[in-house]
């Protein structure tokens, strides 16, 4: 029997609102048990600092121009993660930490994916082995550095004995999908499929003192402006028709087309826009498969009833949707579990990305390892 490791995975997603933390025990292949999980919300200062900087960094040049602010914020975010390690690991002996960091800028065309998080500093503060910078090796090997969770999604599908074919749709700030139609690692298909919560969150944060549309209640009170929606979709298609990116960043989308709309109508229109892109991408992604396909939804977006309603409304008839909890999967922590699992695979030099998931030239491991 292969060795099992106790690993803490910490994931701060594209919504940039806090950190999901999961401690698992796993061999990085086919055994896994969850020991502890908790969400740590950014305080208002850290939340604002990150989102203000994210809006300013839209190119490699911006990374150079704002380098001092980036370094300062990276240190703050790393210290925040160190406090999480001390909080959640109380009473548990960690073998290692999977430290994703907070994505500030992701651009596959420029071969860059920048996550704020200093692995060396975290290792010094926690006295633990740390795996971080998960996306770098994939990019060096011709991939886009994302999505990285599909190999973990495959483990979940297999461990829960869910009948194939099946998809896992993660709706965070950005939406990504994994399609499992057999159990061969090299046949896992995945890609980012559009905005998730990022546009809706930005609209709510701009117009209220809230951080997101809780349950989609605000958008449910509004009316979709069909004219603005159609124009926005046309503009989006025109801008993206020449691109065939596997991965996306929140900076690929903006809320400017909804300006002039009231709070509720703007939320409704942005929700419809997000859902239309997600479903058009999924419908195209799965167009060669006419079998009945189950889609399991995880991430914060699964709680937005308005968004889910729109996604189901626009999807192909052979797709049926389920909540992750329907299969005893906690949809809030799948990503943090994944980066704990990927960290274990990294120290074992097992692949975490594949040509069919990120576009890399060959299956490759990833993650820089800081030893103590």
Give per-residue pLDDT as tens, 230-282: 999 999 998 876 667 899 999 999 999 999 999 999 999 999 999 999 999 99
pLDDT score of 242: 61
Q: pTM (2 decimals)?
A: 0.97
Nearest of 255, 250, 210 to residue 235 by alpha carbon: 255
- DSSP H helices, 144-262, are 150-159, 198-207, 217-220, 226-240
Q: Are residues 187 and 122 in the same domain?
A: no
Structure tokens at 213: 């549309």
Query: Which domain covers residue 269, as residue numbers?
Result: 161-327
Q: Is residue 156 part of a domain?
A: no
Structure tokens at 318: 């052979």
Q: Are residues 50 and 168 in the same domain?
A: no
pLDDT score of 241: 67
Q: Are residues 181 and 86 in the same domain?
A: no
pLDDT score of 1: 64
Section 32-58 average pLDDT: 97
Burial of 119 by CB count in 10 Å (0-12 exposed, 13-18 middle, 19+ buried)?
A: buried
Q: Is residue 152 part of a domain?
A: no
pLDDT digits (tens, 9 = 90+) for 110-143: 999 999 999 999 999 999 999 999 999 999 999 9
Section 28-53 average pLDDT: 97
Q: Are residues 84 and 212 in the same domain?
A: no
Nearest of 72, 98, 64 to residue 84 by alpha carbon: 98
pLDDT score of 245: 84
Q: Are residues 217 and 264 in the same domain?
A: yes
pLDDT score of 143: 96
- Per-residue H/E/C for 268-306: HHHHHHHHHHHHHHHHHHCCCCCCCEEEEEECHHHHCHH
Q: What is the CATH number of the domain that holds 111?
A: 3.30.420.40
Q: Is residue 300 part of a domain?
A: yes
């Amino acid at each position: 029997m292969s060795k099992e490791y106790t690993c803490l995975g910490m994931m701060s997603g594209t919504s940039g609102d806090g950190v999901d933390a999961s401690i698992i025990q796993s061999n990085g292949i086919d055994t896994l048990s969850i020991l502890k999980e908790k969400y740590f919300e950014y305080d208002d200062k850290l939340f604002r600092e990150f989102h203000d900087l994210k809006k300013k960094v839209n190119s490699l040049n911006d990374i150079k121009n704002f380098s001092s602010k980036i370094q300062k914020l990276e240190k703050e975010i790393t210290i925040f993660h160190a406090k999480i390690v001390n909080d959640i690991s109380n009473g548990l002996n960690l073998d290692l930490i999977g430290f994703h960091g907070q994505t500030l800028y992701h651009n596959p065309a420029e071969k860059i994916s920048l996550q704020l998080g200093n692995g060396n500093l975290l290792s010094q503060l926690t006295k633990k082995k740390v795996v971080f910078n998960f996306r770098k090796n994939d990019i060096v090997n011709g991939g886009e550095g994302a999505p990285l969770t599909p190999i973990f999604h495959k483990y979940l599908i297999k461990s829960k004995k869910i009948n194939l074919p099946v998809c896992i749709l993660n709706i965070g700030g950005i939406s990504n999908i994994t399609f499992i139609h057999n159990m061969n690692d090299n046949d896992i298909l995945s890609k980012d499929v559009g905005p998730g919560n990022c546009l809706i969150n930005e609209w709510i944060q701009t117009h209220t003192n809230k951080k997101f549309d809780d349950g989609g209640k605000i958008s449910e009170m509004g009316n979709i402006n069909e004219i603005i929606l159609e124009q926005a979709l046309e503009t989006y298609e025109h801008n993206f028709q020449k691109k065939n990116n596997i991965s996306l960043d929140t900076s690929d989308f903006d809320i400017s087309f909804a300006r002039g709309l009231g709070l509720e109508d703007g939320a409704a229109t942005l929700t419809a826009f997000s859902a239309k892109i997600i479903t058009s991408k999924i419908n195209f992604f799965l167009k060669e498969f006419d079998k009945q396909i189950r889609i399991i939804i995880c991430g914060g977006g699964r709680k937005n009833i308005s968004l889910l309603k729109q996604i189901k409304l626009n999807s192909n008839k052979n797709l049926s949707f389920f909540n992750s909890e329907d299969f005893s999967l906690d949809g809030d922590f799948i990503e943090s579990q994944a980066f704990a699992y990927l960290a274990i695979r990294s120290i074992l030099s097992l692949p975490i990305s594949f040509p069919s998931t990120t576009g890399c030239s060959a299956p490759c491991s990833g993650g820089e390892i800081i030893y103590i």
